[in-house]
Structure 1
Amino acid sequence: MDLNTITDVVRPRSRTELPAWTAGDAWLAGGTWLFSEPQVHLMRLIDLTDLKWPALTLGEAGLSCAATCTVAQLDALACPADWLAAPLINQCCRAFLASFKIWKTATVGGNLCMSLPAGPMIALTAALEGICTIWKADGSERKIPVADFVTGNQGNVLASGDLLRQIDVPLTALKRRAAFRQISLTPVGRSAALLIGTAGRDGDFLLTVTASTVRPIQLRFSAPPDAGGLRTTILDRITDELYHDDVHGKPLWRKAMTLRLAEEIRTELSGAARS
């Protein structure tokens, strides 16, 4: 869709060239949502393409993913053999309600910044204990866990003019065992519940609940929980008002699916630990 209110497109090549943020500005990365509907309040686009951030960087500390990394680039990543959680990358990429054509343009950062409950890149990076680096409008920098970055349905911690720079995933999280569960009302529908569990060598268990809730919810256990303990913790920690309500699933059903999928994940990871 043409954005016929845009009068200027700025293409900075470094942070120092980023223009002062004003009303009517928008960051442009993939633009798959930005160009999908009228944006009559916008007058200027700040195109991030010429910043040329490396899409993915593998280092001793883990994986660094630029906000401008596309879904296709992430999906194509060749992961080391000892990254036991690597299958989550492909599973979450395929949880998009989008075609492969969109993958080539849509960005990881854009999915986080849209902050939809069903955002699969939110689920992935939260479950892998990712840390967001935010370039603040005042020139400073802030780091925050992905699980805390999203605050609600289409809500996050970004203030006016803030820019999500990258997401860093620690190596320790990538080496954890993992289990993925996702459900939709229809075979190719938007996720109504997307849960990921990871387990460490010392037996700790981390459950990340997304899509069924308005924001990511993480439940951490120092030792593998039993079925009753997991269910009780979910019922205590995820109150009814946290379950999302839209055409893709009613809260009561999402709650039931969350409990069911969580138990499937617990059973899978407990079985893997015994084998």
Structure 2
Amino acid sequence: MDLNTVAEVISPAEVGQWRPGDAWLGGGTALFGEPRPHLSRLLDLTASGWPALTLRDDTLEIAATCTIAELAASDYPIALKCCQAFLASFKIWNVATVGGNLCAALPAGPMISLGSALDGVCLVLGPDGSREVPVADFVTGDGTTVLEDGELLRSITIPMSALTADFALRQGSLHPYGRSGVLLIGRRKAEGMVLAVTAATKRPYVLRFPTMPNAEVVQIALSERIPHDAYVNDIHGLPAWRRHLTRLYAEEIRQELAA
């Protein structure tokens, strides 16, 4: 979709250049997906030259401008699984960015799922400096994040211990090629388990169990930690259906990781 109110594109862009009427431009797949008549200028981040993936001894830094195709080509099975959860063609994979998926904050965003499940931390840059926010706290609701005016998402850092841990993933949609209505990721951590609930809920919920729980403990945790009104209600699935699949998939993941 054309953004016919945009009169200027700044490339490359920097944090201090932001002003009202601006929008940060990454891949643009979400930005150009609907009318945005309030915008008058785009600040291009793709020309910033940030390395897509930076591997250190104990972490992997994923630039906000890293494309889905670049992440999928890495050697991490859980990253590939999350990339495959996109309702998108290979054309979108080569344009859409990890940061854009997080900042769009759609419940079905699989990069939100990946970062939440793996204890990812967002680096946020703004006019007043930088700050770090866990991915699980970065998205605050359906389409909303912690970003304030003038702030941008620079990168997501994931511990290698989480990225290479044993994991189990379950995804549910109303039809085979539909947008995720439920997406759960569980991973082993020491003697216990971490369970991230996304897509079914308006924001991520991460449940942590210090030891491997039994079925009852997991179901109680889901009931106590996720409010009844947190489940999404839209054309991609009713709350009751999403809640049911969340409970079903959580038990399947528990059994797989326990084995």
Indicate the residue corresponding to 1:82 in structure 2: none
Give matches, 1:204-223, under 5 Å.
204-223=192-211
Q: For 1:3 and 1:233, how far apart are their aligned partners in 2?
A: 45
Residues 110-149 of structure 1 show CA distances to partners (whole Å, capped at 9, x for unaligned) of: 00000011000000111111000000222x1000110010
Q: For 1:35 and 1:150, how far apart are their aligned partners in 2?
A: 21
Indicate the residue corresponding to 1:239 in structure 2: 227
1:26 aligns with 2:23: yes
After TM superposition, give the deviation of residue 19 of structure 1 in Å: 4.3
Give matches, 1:7-156, under 5 Å.
7-12=7-12, 15=14, 18-77=15-74, 79=75, 86-138=76-128, 140-156=129-145
Contact map agreement 1:10 1:45 (CA 8 A) in 2: yes
Contact map agreement 2:16 2:127 (CA 8 A) in 1: no
Indicate the SS of the match to 1:224.
coil
Q: For 1:154 and 1:230, how far apart are their aligned partners in 2?
A: 28
Using structure 1 for the length normalisation, give the TM-score. 0.92
After TM superposition, give the deviation of residue 22 of structure 1 in Å: 1.6
Q: Which stretch of the first structure deviates more once superposed, 163-172 or 31-40?
A: 31-40
After TM superposition, give the deviation of residue 233 of structure 1 in Å: 0.9
Equivalenced residue count is 259
Q: For 1:36 and 1:118, how far apart are their aligned partners in 2?
A: 16
Q: For 1:259 and 1:136, how far apart are their aligned partners in 2?
A: 39
Q: Identity across aligned pairs (percent)?
A: 53
Using structure 2 for the length normalisation, give the TM-score. 0.97
Indicate the SS of the match to 1:179.
strand
RMSD across aligned C-alpha pairs, in angstroms?
Answer: 1.1
Contact map agreement 1:137 1:163 (CA 8 A) in 2: no
Indicate the SS of the match to 1:63.
strand
Residues 136-178 of structure 1 show CA distances to partners (whole Å, capped at 9, x for unaligned) of: 222x100011001001101110001100000000112123210
Indicate the residue corresponding to 2:146 in structure 1: 157
Q: For 1:176 and 1:249, how far apart are their aligned partners in 2?
A: 31
Contact map agreement 1:137 1:160 (CA 8 A) in 2: no
Q: For 1:31 and 1:175, how far apart are their aligned partners in 2?
A: 30
Q: For 1:222 and 1:6, how far apart are their aligned partners in 2?
A: 51
Residues 181-225 of structure 1 show CA distances to partners (whole Å, capped at 9, x for unaligned) of: 00000110010100000012x312100000001000000000000
